Amino acid sequence: MRANYYLKSYCRFFCINFLLVLGLVSGHRVLAQNTANPYQPAAQPDRIILNVTQDPSTSMGVNWRTSDSVKESFAEIAIASPDPRFVNKVKKNTAKTETLQLEGILASYHSVVFDNLVPNTKYAYRVGQGETWSEWIHFNTAGKPGEKFSFIYYGDVQTNIRSLWSRVARDAYAKAPDAVLMMYAGDLINRANRDVEWGDWFEAGGFIHSMIPGFPSPGNHDHYDGPDGKTLTSIFWRPQFVLPENGPAGLEETCYYSDIQGMRFISLNSDLAEESDEFLEKQKVWMEKVLSNNPNRWTCVTFHHPIYSPKSTRDNKRMRETFKPLFDQYKVDLVLQGHDHTYARGMAKIPMAKKGETSGTMYVVSVSGPKMTDSNVEKRDWMDRSALYTQLYHVVKVEKDKLTFESYTATGELYDAFDLLKQKGKINKLVDRIPANVPERR
C-alpha cells in the first residue's frame, strides 16, 4: 500500500523524522516515500542496460532513461571497427518510450531490440537524441552451440548496493569480462518501488550493465502489494528491462527463457508462484513445455526461493513439490537461487531412489550483497559446501560436455569450485574442486 504523507508546517520536523524511521523499518512490498533522491533524470541518457533476448546471437535488448521532456529517443548500432568511420554506417532505431511517475520523479523509459545481428560479432551502439547521446558502447553477440562461453551469477544484491555490492560487480567483471550474461537470482533491490535504490543498483554496476546483457529473475523484494492486495512486480521492472516475452500470460518478462550457445537459461517468478495457485500452475505447465522441447545440451534454471533452504525455519514446499520432479525428469543441470543470504550447494537425492543416488542436478543458493544471516542456518545433508558472512559471485564456464562452476569472494579469492561432466546415458558426474586450505566460513 502506497504511503502518502502530507507535511503540515506546524509538524514538519516531526513528520520528516517519522518518514526517515519508516524508511528504515518498513519491509518489502511497500511503496516508500522518497525525501532525497540524487538520481534525477535529465536529457542525457542514463541507466543504460543490455538485456538478453530469446536468441542473443542474433538480437539484443537495450534500455535507458531520460527526463520526461524527451518524447522520442533512438539507438544507433554498427559493427565495431578500429576505424572510427564506422559511425557513418550505423542503423538508427526509434525507441519504444513510456513515461513513469513515482516519488515525485517523472521520467521517460526507452527500449530497443536490435535484430538481424551477426553471431559472435562485436557491435558498437549508442542511445540518445538530437545533440544528446551516450558514448559508443561495445557488446558481443553470442556464438553458436558448442562454442565455449561463460556467465556470471549473483545471489541477492538488496541492500547497501552502491557502497558494498559495487565491489562484487566490478571484481566479477574483472574475472569474466567476456561473459554472455549476468544472472540475478532475485532481490536486486530492497523496496520494489524506490527509485533511489534502483539508482544505486545502476550506479554500482556502472558501464558493466551496458556491455554484458542482464538476465534478472525477480525476488520477493522486487514485488509489492498493489491497491487490491495482489502481489505485483515492481513498477520499474518492465520499463527498465526489455526481456523475452515467451513466458506465461501475466508473467511477462519475469518468467522467460533464452538460448545461448547450447544452454537454455530459464527464469521462474517464484514469488508469484508462492503467492498464487494460478501463477504456480501456469509456470508448471509452461516449464514442462520448455524442458520437454529443449534442443540444448545444457539447462540452467534460476529463481529466488530455494528448492532446499539452508535455513531450518524456511521450507519452500510448493516450489519443491511442483518443480523438482520436472528438474529430475528432464535432467536440469543447474538450479541457481537466492533469498536466504548465505551460500550452499549440493546435489539433492531422488525420492525412493537407491541410497545416495542423485538426479545430477546441482542446487546453489548464494548472496552477493552485504545483507547476511546466521540465524537458523545449519549444515544439511544435501550440502557439499556452505558459507556464512561471505559476499560471493560465481563464474560459470561451459565447453562442450564440461561445465565449470567457480565461486569467488568479494575480494577475488576462490572459495569453492566444481565441474559437471556429461556422461552418455548417465547423470552428470560431479568433480569437486574445493580449494585446498580454504575452510568453510561458518
Average pLDDT of the residues of the chain:
91
255 and 369 inside one domain: yes
Determine, yes or no, domain membership for 166. yes
Spatial CA neighbour of 157 closest among 338, 394, 300: 338
**pLDDT at residue 272, rounded to an integer:** 96
pTM, two decimals, is 0.91
Q: How confident is the model at residue 24 (pLDDT cuts 50, 70, 90)?
A: very low
HEC assignment per residue over 269-308: CHHHHHHCHHHHHHHHHHHHHHHHCCCCCEEEEECCCCCC
Determine, yes or no, domain membership for 41. no
117 and 157 inside one domain: no
342 and 318 inside one domain: yes
* Residue ranges making up the domain that contains 22: 1-33
Phi/psi of residue 250, each to 5°? 90, -10
The string of DSSP codes covering 257-270 is: EEEETTEEEEE--H
Determine, yes or no, domain membership for 299. yes
**pLDDT at residue 7, rounded to an integer:** 34
Determine, yes or no, domain membership for 68. yes
Q: Stretch 184-195: mean pLDDT, rounded?
A: 98
**Percent of residues, the chain, with pLDDT higher than 90:** 83
pLDDT, greater one: 254 or 378: 254
Residue that is last in its domain, among 111, 140, 169? 140
Residue that is last in its domain, among 140, 175, 197? 140
Chain Cα centroid distance, residue 330: 23
298 and 369 inside one domain: yes
CA 54/CA 57 separation, integer angstroms: 9
115 and 184 inside one domain: no
112 and 191 inside one domain: no
129 and 219 inside one domain: no
The CATH number given to whatever domain includes residue 400 is 3.60.21.10
**pLDDT at residue 174, rounded to an integer:** 98
pLDDT, greater one: 22 or 376: 376
Q: How many domains is the chain built from? A: 3
Determine, yes or no, domain membership for 39. no
**pLDDT at residue 352, rounded to an integer:** 55
- Is the per-residue pLDDT at 113 higher than 60? yes
277 and 364 inside one domain: yes
Determine, yes or no, domain membership for 82. yes
- Is the per-residue pLDDT at 349 higher than 80? no
Determine, yes or no, domain membership for 345. yes
**pLDDT at residue 329, rounded to an integer:** 96
**Which residues, at least 6 apart from 11, have a Cβ–Cβ distance to it below 8 Å?**
none
- Is the per-residue pLDDT at 14 higher than 60? no
222 and 155 inside one domain: yes
Q: How confident is the model at residue 327 (pLDDT cuts 50, 70, 90)?
A: very high
- Is the per-residue pLDDT at 394 higher than 60? yes
Query: Where is average pLDDT lowest: 13-22, 233-242, 248-257, 427-436?
Result: 13-22
* Grid cell at residue 21: 524511521
Q: How confident is the model at residue 200 (pLDDT cuts 50, 70, 90)?
A: very high
User: For residue range 249-296, what is the model confidence (pLDDT) as tens digits?
Assistant: 999 999 999 999 999 999 999 999 999 999 999 999 999 999 999 999
The CATH number given to whatever domain includes residue 54 is 2.60.40.380
83 and 203 inside one domain: no
User: For residue range 73-90, what is the model confidence (pLDDT) as tens digits?
Assistant: 999 999 999 999 999 999
266 and 394 inside one domain: yes
134 and 157 inside one domain: no
**pLDDT at residue 2, rounded to an integer:** 34
Residue that is last in its domain, among 121, 140, 159? 140
Q: How many residues does the chain have?
A: 442
Are the beta carbons of 102 and 235 closer than 8 angstroms? yes
Determine, yes or no, domain membership for 440. no
